[in-house]
Structure 1
Amino acid sequence: MKFKSRKDTFFRVFIFVFSGLLLGIIFSRIFFAGKYEFLWIDILLLVVVALLIWLYFGTKYELTQSELKYQSGPISGKIEIDEINEIIKGKSLWSGLKPATARNGLIIKYGKYDEIYISPKTNDRFVKKILELNENIKITIN
C-alpha cells in the first residue's frame, strides 16, 4: 500500500519562498545586471531549487508484506517490518534520518538503536496498516 507524505504549512512556505528567492536572484542577474556572464553559481542555485521541488513532490512511503520503503527526493531506503519495535505517534524527530515533509508524524524505531521519522498523510491509517502486517509493534502516543 502506498502513502503520500503530508505537507504542513511551514514546509510549503519554506520550499516555495526559498525557491522563489533563489530563482529571483538568478533572473535579476540575467535581466538587470547589464552584461550577463554565466557563472557556476547559477547552476548551483538551479540544482538547489530542483532538489527542493523534488523533496516536495517526491516524498512517499510504501508498505509491502515485508518492508517499509521510503523515498524523499534522493533519499530512499527500506526497513524490514519484522525489525520495527515501536512507533511513536504525534512527535517530531529533530535529528537523524527524516524523509518527511511535516511535523507531528511518526518516529519508527527499528533494529537495536535505529530510528526514522516519516509523515504519512494520515498517521492512523498508516499505523493500522502496519499493525496488520506485524501486530507486535508497540504504539506510543505523545
Structure 2
Amino acid sequence: MKVYKSKIDWWLMAIVYGVLIYPMVDGILTKEYILSAGMMGVVLLITLLFYSVQYKIEGAQLKIWWTTIDIKTIRKVYATRNPLSSPALSLDRLAIVYNKYDEVLVSPKNREDFIQELLKVNPDIEVKA
C-alpha cells in the first residue's frame, strides 16, 4: 500500500484560517465566549480535515476518503488548475477520468510517483501531466 498526502497551498490555508479565526477573536473581545468556542471547534475540525486528505493505492484500488476507484477503469490523468471542490488542497491538481463519465481532482505532493504507481497497475492510462 502506498499513501500520498495532499499538497497544501499556503494561501489556501491563510484564507480559510483568516475567515475562521476572525469571528473567534471577535467573540473573545466582545465576551461572546460561546461564539469563540464554536469557532475554535470549527478550526480544529478544518485542521483535522486538512491533514487527513490522502490518496491510497492498495493493489488495484485507489482510495480517496470514502471513494474507491478501480485503477483498471482509469482512462486518463491530466494536469489541471480547476478550482472545483474536491479532495485536493492545492490548485496544482491532477484530474483522474475513470469509468465512462466520472472524474475526480487530486493534488498529491509527489505527482510523478503517484502517476507511476497508477501506471504500474494500468499501463493503458493516457497521461497528460
When the two structures are superposed, what TM-score results if normalisation uses the length of structure 1?
0.78
| Runs of 4+ residues deviating >6 angstroms | none
Cα deviation, 1:68-114, whole Å, max 9, x if unaligned, reads: 1113xxxx32211111111012x12333x510110121100111111
Partner of 2:82, secondary structure, is: coil
Q: How many residues align?
A: 128
Partner of 2:30, secondary structure, is: helix
Distance 2:82 2:45 in 1: 22
CA contact (8 A) 1:19 1:52 kept: no
After TM superposition, give the deviation of residue 37 of structure 1 in Å.
Answer: 7.3
Cα deviation, 1:3-42, whole Å, max 9, x if unaligned, reads: 1111112212123322322321332233xxxxx574xx55
CA contact (8 A) 1:15 1:56 kept: no
Larger radius of gyration: 1
State the one-letter code of the partner of 2:96: I
1:17 aligns with 2:3: no
CA contact (8 A) 1:98 1:116 kept: yes
1:69 aligns with 2:63: yes
- Describe the shift of the 1:69–1:17 C-alpha distance in structure 2 as closer, same or farther (beyond 3 A): same
Distance 1:121 1:17 in 2: 24
* Aligned-residue CA RMSD (Å): 2.1
Distance 1:102 1:139 in 2: 20
Distance 2:16 2:114 in 1: 25
CA contact (8 A) 1:99 1:118 kept: yes
1:60 aligns with 2:54: yes
When the two structures are superposed, what TM-score results if normalisation uses the length of structure 2?
0.85
After TM superposition, give the deviation of residue 43 of structure 1 in Å.
Answer: 6.2
CA contact (8 A) 1:92 1:107 kept: no
CA contact (8 A) 2:7 2:89 kept: yes
Corresponding residue number in structure 2 for 1:92: 81
Alignment gaps of 5+ in structure 2: none
1:101 aligns with 2:89: yes
